[in-house]
């Protein structure tokens, strides 16, 4: 495992951290980097382009002149694609440019990108990425003390409001979280700054030997115990009534009075 110094915002060493070779020392695969970058750029396209065809452009629907006898070319509509201001044939329509990329390819490309940055000594681990203020000037001075690069990618795990506010007005500086980190962003920026928490998260997520949690099979499931039967409320109410409370039915008299 590679041992990298952990520094603070002033550039002073405050500790060390070990980086797994399977993640930060992997072989750089140029093909995976190209495919992941191409997939990411296509996902960013909005695909809202649209042209109007013959049925959508402005214009009347009547025939301009009769079919024969004028000596001119026959025409059926002023909205014909052959005419100026007419419709467009086979023009672009709104669509999505995205496509499915296998997850293994994306994870492999991210390992290659991080390994390439570490080999070029353009990857730095910070103790923490928390800032005392949300001012842009403080973050600009801190980045100047570290490397002075024009572009930097800050990877922080968890919510960091001051860092987001301070970085959004700096050109070439972007804040990302480990679970949404893209290989294209890693390659595009000159300097990659990782917090210690982000390193631990990436080491767990990108581990190629990570095994899923296996749930033991259950052969039989014991039936649930039957609930105890409670006494019927109607029967209990009948037993509570005294016998004298029952109204006696009048006896019917036989014959006439």
**Helices 30-44 and 103-119: crossing angle, nearest 10°?**
110
pLDDT digits (tens, 9 = 90+) for 59-87: 988 999 999 999 999 999 999 999 999 99
Phi, psi of 200 (to 5 degrees): -65, -40
Rounded to two decimals, the pTM is 0.72
pLDDT at residue number 145: 84
Average pLDDT over residues 102-119: 94
Q: What is residue 199's three-state secondary structure? A: helix
The length of the chain is: 257
Tokens coding 206: 């990108």
Q: How far is CA 197 from each of CA 129, 130, 159, 178, 203, rounded to the nearest angstrom?
A: 10, 12, 12, 9, 10
Spatial contact of 108 and 19, defined as CB atoms under 8 Å apart = no
Question: How many CB atoms lie under 10 A from the CB of residue 164?
Answer: 14
The pair of three-digit structure tokens given for residue 214, joined into one six-digit string: 């296996």
Quick one: average pLDDT of 22-51?
94
- Per-residue model confidence (pLDDT) at position 233: 61
| pLDDT of the residue at 257 | 47
Q: Is the pLDDT of residue 7 over 60?
A: yes
Domains, the chain, ordered by start? 2-48+96-205 (3.40.1370.10)
**Residue 146 per-residue DSSP state:** H
Q: What is the predicted pLDDT for the residue at 225? A: 78
pLDDT interval class at 147 (50, 70, 90): confident
**CA-CA distances (angstroms) from residue 79 to 66, 71, 91, 208?**
17, 21, 15, 60
CB 189 within 8 A of CB 167: no
Whole-number pLDDT of residue 187: 94
Give the per-residue pLDDT at 79. 94
Q: What is the pLDDT of residues 210-253, one digit of tens each?
A: 765 555 665 566 677 777 776 556 655 565 555 555 555 565 65
Calpha distance 14→127 (Å, rounded): 7
The rounded distance, in Å, linking the Cα atoms of 24 and 119 is: 9
Across 15-24, 150-159, 183-192, 207-216, least confident range: 207-216
């Amino acid at each position: 495992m590679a041992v990298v110094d952990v520094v603070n915002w002033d550039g002073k060493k405050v500790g060390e951290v070990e980086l797994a070779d399977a993640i930060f020392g992997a072989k750089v695969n140029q093909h995976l980097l190209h495919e992941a970058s191409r997939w990411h750029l296509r996902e960013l396209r909005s695909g809202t382009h649209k042209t109007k065809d013959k049925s959508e452009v402005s214009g009347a629907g009547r025939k301009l002149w009769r079919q024969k006898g004028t000596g001119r070319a026959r025409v059926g509509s002023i909205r014909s694609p052959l005419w100026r201001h007419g419709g467009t044939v086979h023009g672009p329509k709104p669509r999505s440019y995205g496509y499915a990329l296998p997850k293994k390819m994306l994870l492999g490309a991210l390992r290659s990108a991080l390994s390439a940055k570490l080999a070029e000594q353009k990857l730095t681990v910070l103790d923490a990425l928390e800032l005392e203020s949300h001012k842009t000037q403080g973050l600009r001075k801190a980045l100047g003390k570290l490397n002075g690069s024009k572009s930097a990618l800050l990877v922080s795990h968890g919510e960091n409001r001051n860092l987001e506010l301070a970085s959004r007005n700096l050109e070439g500086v972007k804040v990302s979280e480990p679970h949404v980190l893209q290989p294209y962003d890693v390659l595009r920026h000159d300097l990659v700054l990782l917090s210690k928490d982000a390193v631990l998260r990436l080491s767990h997520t990108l581990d190629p030997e990570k095994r899923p949690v296996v749930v033991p099979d259950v052969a039989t499931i014991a039936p649930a115990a039957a609930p105890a039967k409670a006494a019927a409320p109607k029967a209990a109410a009948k037993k509570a009534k005294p016998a004298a409370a029952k109204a006696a039915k009048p006896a019917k008299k036989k014959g006439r009075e």
